[in-house]
Amino acid sequence: MAKLLNGILGGISGKIGSIVGATWRSVEYIRSLPKETDKPRTEQQLAQQAKFKFLHEFLSPFARFFTVGFRNIATHRTEMNVAFSINYQSALMGSHPNFEISYPHFVMSKGNLPNLCEPKVVLLSGAELELSWLNLRQPLATPDDQVTLLLYDAELKKAEGFIGGISRLAGSCRFAIHPNSVGRSLEVYVSVSSINRELVSDSLYLGRLNT
């Protein structure tokens, strides 16, 4: 049964015939119900479905990073949907069934805030790395901007790192690598957000770190 929200001029919640009404992020909308069919899917449709599944599974470990990295451009969409759309265009490579990710083109965040100036990452030991950068004046940048560090272990399909807690002013920080990832290759990314997270930088790929 469908319900009228806020009277006769309000939105619809529920199913009426072939349409369904719902509310998402305070936006009321209606959509058609999918048509049922017994027609088998074509090879092209199956390949596209596999492509979407591959990218969705790859992006899933980064959800908490996307929440900050895409929050300001996720208008009427989730941050994950934005990440999917951007990385579908930029990072997804290959053809069915051999899909792959171009790590230098993977995007964790997008915005106008300047990223760290000349960031570098070095391995101090098998289980700890150091991230350092220069403190130079840049438009929109402030000393209390917060650093995000992302490490991705492709073999384990695991993302780790931190979001905030280290300021731009600090100039460097250290991070303990998870024991399960020690001895493996890690893809390294950094980005910066304002302390209130209203501004964010484009993410930057720092390369592959062999631990």
In the prediction, which pLDDT does 4 show? 45
**pLDDT category of residue 15 using cuts at 50, 70 and 90:** low
Question: Where do the domains of the chain lie?
Answer: 3-32, 43-210
This prediction has a pTM of: 0.82
> What crossing angle do the helices spanning 43-59 and 79-90 adopt, rounded to 10°?
120
Look at 75 and 68; give whichever has higher pLDDT: 68
Measured at the alpha carbon of residue 208, what is the angle toward residues 92 and 197, in degrees to the nearest 5? Answer: 70
| Per-residue DSSP letter, 107 | -
Whether the per-residue pLDDT at 143 is higher than 90: the answer is yes
Answer yes or no: CATH 2.60.40.10 is held by domain 43-210.
Answer: yes
Q: Which two tokens stand for residue 22?
A: 């719902």
Q: pLDDT digit string (tens) for 53-71?
A: 999 999 999 999 999 999 9
Q: Which residues, in sequence order, are CB contacts of 194 under 8 Å at separation 6+?
A: 113, 142, 145, 146, 200
- At 141 the three-state DSSP class reads coil
Mean predicted confidence (pLDDT) in 98-124: 97
| pLDDT for position 149 | 98
pLDDT at 2 over 50: no
In terms of Cα–Cα distance, which of 161, 147, 153 is closest to 191?
147
